[in-house]
Each structure stands twice: as C-alpha cells, then as structure tokens.
Structure 1
Amino acid sequence: MINDDPSARDLVAIALRSFREAILPVVPADQRFIALMIANALGVAERELAAGATAEPALAAAVGGLLGEAGDLPALLPRLCAAIDAGRFDAPDRQAALRAVLKDITLARLAVSNPKRLVAEGQGASR
C-alpha cells in the first residue's frame, strides 16, 4: 500500500511555515521571544528529520570503522567515548583518524542545531 500522506518532515515544515507566516507576525512584543523559540525548535526538528536519513548512517560507519565494530550511531557513540577514555586513540596516527570523525560528528550536529554557523565558517549551505 502506498502512503500518500505527508511525512513527519513535511508536517513539521508545513507547521513551521504556517507559524512563521500566520502566527509570528501577530504575536505581541512581550511574547515574541517565546514565539521565536518555538519557530527555532520547529526548524531544528525539521533539519533533524532531514539529516537523520542521510548523515547518521555515514557517521555510524565512520565511528564503527574507528572502533572495529558495527552498529547504529546511538549505540556506537558511548563506545567511542569509552574507547577514548581507555586511551585507544592516544597514538598519534589514531588521533588523526579520531579528530576527523569528531569533526564530521560536530559538523553534522551543527547542520541541525545551527546551520547559520556553518555558513559563517564556510562549511555548509544555509536553510
């Protein structure tokens, strides 16, 4: 059966657009900060839904490659922290690989939480 209903990402995008176009312009000044926080939260949710399908598998593969393990990103990240704590990346050649993966994780998180910062640093495209 084909599901023609909008996806969660589409629904959040519709809610965000409607909020920005219809609600935000008429919000009283004393409530503007709260309204902007709501718009920001919807924007983060929209980007997170978009990124989850593309970025997470690649990051899981990169982290798994460092650890010599397979799994999804939420399961691998605590293992990576434990491996760092245990000194598995203390050797200079391992540090370079670790830094590259940590940079990728940071950029992926910024793409969701603060994409304007990536644009300011010349690392990404604006939404």
Structure 2
Amino acid sequence: MRERPDGAELLAIAREVLHKELLPVLPADKAYSARMIANAMGIAERQLRSGGGPQEEERRALSALLGRGGELSALTREFAARIRQGMFDDSVEARRLLWESTVQRVRESAPKALATDARAPSVR
C-alpha cells in the first residue's frame, strides 16, 4: 500500500503551490508557461484519479461496435477510417460513442467546461 499523499494528491499539492506561490512572482514572460504546466498537472491528476476505467470502457464499446477485439489505439484508428468512409453516417451507436468519449476527454482536460449533467443530446 502506498503512503499518502498518493500521486494524484502530490500533483494537486504541487499545482496549488505553483498557482498560489510561484505564479504571482514569476516574470510576465514566464507566466504563460507556468499556467500550461499547471494545466498539464491538472490533467495528469484527473487521469490518475480516474484510472484506466474510461479507456477500457471506450475499448469495449469500440470492440462491440466494430465487431472485433484489439487495443484501443488500433480500434480508434479503424473507427476513424470507417467514419471517413461513411460507414457510420446513420449509426446512433457511433454517435453515442463519439459523444461519450468526447465528454470523458473534456472531463479530464477541461472539466469546468462541462455542465453539471453532461448528458448526450438527442443522437438521432
């Protein structure tokens, strides 16, 4: 068992120090870079907290949609190729999968951009 703070907590602490203590005293030409580092730390923290579940869920959904198994990256490439070929133009399942994967990515990269309840819009 790991001691506390764990990796996600360490990132959160470091990010807070960066925001509250270091960013205010940095020269203006370094502030943008510091904010980018803080944002990257926030994304890494959220990914650590969510674990591999979201990627595995996406892999299973893609596998079911494509009718074959495989690694997430390979399934994603095949899905994109099939979309470009127009194979999912009328697929509610494909639209739902795209929406859910987009929401998950925003949850990790910019969670404040989501409403409290990020339900899929009508996916006809």
Please tell me the TM-score bracket, short chain as reference: 0.7 to 0.9
The code of the aligned residue for 2:12 comes to A
Structure 1: 5+ residue stretches without partners:
none
Distance 1:72 1:52 in 2: 17
Distance 1:41 1:63 in 2: 27
Q: Secondary structure at the match of 2:107?
A: helix
Is 1:109 the counterpart of 2:105? The answer is yes
Give how far 1:26 is off.
2.3
Give how far 1:99 is off.
0.3
1:34 maps to what in 2? 33
Q: Secondary structure at the match of 1:88?
A: coil
2:19 maps to what in 1? 20
Runs of 4+ in 1 over 4 A off after TM superposition: none
Listed one character per residue, the Cα deviations across residues 48-86 of structure 1 (whole Å, up to 9, x for unaligned) are: 333342211111111111111223322210011122233
Deviating more after overlay: 19-28 vs 56-65: 19-28
Is 1:61 the counterpart of 2:60? The answer is yes
Distance 1:88 1:34 in 2: 42
TM-score normalised by the chain length of structure 1: 0.75
Structure 2 CA distance for partners of 1:10 and 1:72, relative to 1, 3 Å: farther
Q: Percent identity?
A: 37
TM-score normalised by the chain length of structure 2: 0.76
Give how far 1:20 is off.
2.2
Structure 2: 5+ residue stretches without partners:
120-124
Structure 2 CA distance for partners of 1:113 and 1:3, relative to 1, 3 Å: closer
Distance 2:2 2:117 in 1: 38
Deviating more after overlay: 44-53 vs 106-115: 44-53
The code of the aligned residue for 2:36 comes to M
Structure 2 CA distance for partners of 1:56 and 1:29, relative to 1, 3 Å: same
